[in-house]
Amino acid sequence: MDKFIVKGPSKLKGEIAISGSKNAALPILASTILFEKEVVIKNLPRVKDIDTMINLLKSLGSIVKFSKDKKTVKITKKKKHKFFASYSLVRTMRAGILVLGALVAKYQKSITSLPGGCLIGARPINYHLNALKKLGMKYEIKKGYIHANSKGKLKGAKIRFSKISVGATENTIIAACLANGITILRNCAIEPEIIDLINFLKSGGAKIKFIGKRTVRIEGVKILKSTIYSVMSDRIETGTFCVAACLTGGNLKINNCDPKIIKAELSLLKKVGAKIKTSKNQIHILGPKKIKNISNLVTKEYPNFPTDLQAQFMVLLCKAKGKSSITESIFENRFMHVAELRRLGAEIIIKKNKALILGSTNFKAAELMSSDLRASVALVLAALVAKGTSIINRIYHLDRGYENIENKLRKVGVKIRRIS
């Protein structure tokens, strides 16, 4: 099993290019099931979750051809499509559930495994199932599989999500594209990755538009036509490298990114003392000599501070002068990195869904264990500023969501290597 050896402390200096967004590419790939004709998707990140989704599509009958650099795929259909999304492919990745809506919309049936992913909370799929049921999907759960079908095409409906859910919003938008009639979705998630999915579907002829801040109108169409689409840049990777520059007192230019979609994060980094300049596709960030504390940071749905950057910001606030706190309001089990940060010397007190960070930590190297994707990268960040050589185990979590992170970090001055 691979691990990272990181020698700290480091100061990041130079330029880093951001990869395509994993969280945008996964629903876009799942939605290719809806298309009759060839689809070309560019700017895919080379991460494990993308490989898993591609293998899932192949198992369902899609023909997938990669470009030489494996960042572009051409997807076409076999005449005979399958409807079984196996546990072996869906268990490692939450986004596997997104083929459910696509299969039922296109073929009126599916047997899809209940999903897996990071162990960061219950993440129930009832929001997905309730919404798809309103479109006409019937289902029962047997032996860990959702057995679903519909009598004829799905039918448009008015649906209000009881809780904002990224996955359920995506699944329902995908399914409604081929439904008969008009679907109105209220209380939708509006993350940039959802906008990217909508733009992709519209490029193939889907009729989707926002008629309110969190209200989407979808007019079903008979078929989606051939399209070429480039996936947006990864805002979580962008935010992670911004934190790394700030944490290490670095001087970093981050290219191939969209500063407009991480406004909340950049304003927080300015608050802790970073100097930031932005242009259309670049962020230039100078880390402060002294990091200032933040009294109460709360994770919320977009456009607020994202849960996927909570662990990274916690590492930053460990180095701040004074006490900080983070309240995790999205997932109930997303402080699993805290025990490992304590091994490096952090003083963090957990009370239910709130972390009190005492600050002024002098991190000292240790051997560490990754628990989930974003926690893993937080441990890498902490190791960057720790005195001595740290070992980070179980980095397969990282490989699910960060493309060649060690190569990118090495180019900007980090002493990091992968060993098997």
CA angle 244-248-253, nearest 5°?
A: 55
Q: Cβ atoms within 10 A of the Cβ of 306, count?
A: 21
**Which of 40, 39, 45, 38 lies closest to 69, judged by CA?**
45
8 Å CB contact between 117 and 91: no
Three-state DSSP class for residue 160: strand
* Per annotation, catalytic residue among 118, 242, 246, 318: 118
Residue 259's contacts (CB-CB under 8 Å, 6 or more residues apart) are 266, 278, 279, 282, 283
Beta strand 324-327 with 297-298: parallel, antiparallel or unpaired? parallel
Following DSSP, what letter does each residue of 227-250 receive, concatenated?
EEEEPPB-HHHHHHHHHHHHHTT-
| 71/133 Cα distance (integer angstroms) | 35
| 400/48 Cα distance (integer angstroms) | 4
| 337/370 Cα distance (integer angstroms) | 7
| 203/180 Cα distance (integer angstroms) | 20
| 361/356 Cα distance (integer angstroms) | 13
| Separate counts of helices (H) and strands (E) for the chain | 14, 24
Phi, psi dihedrals of residue 296, rounded to the nearest 5° = -150, 95
Asked if 246 is an active-site residue, the reply is no
Place of tokens 């963090």: 348
Residue 88's contacts (CB-CB under 8 Å, 6 or more residues apart) are none
Following DSSP, what letter does each residue of 15-83 receive, concatenated?
EEE--B-HHHHHHHHHHGGG-SS-EEEE-----HHHHHHHHHHHHTTEEEEE-TTSS-EEEEE-SS---
The residues pairing with 112 across neighbouring beta strands, listed in sequence order, are 85, 146
Query: Which sequence positions are flagged as catalytic?
Result: 118
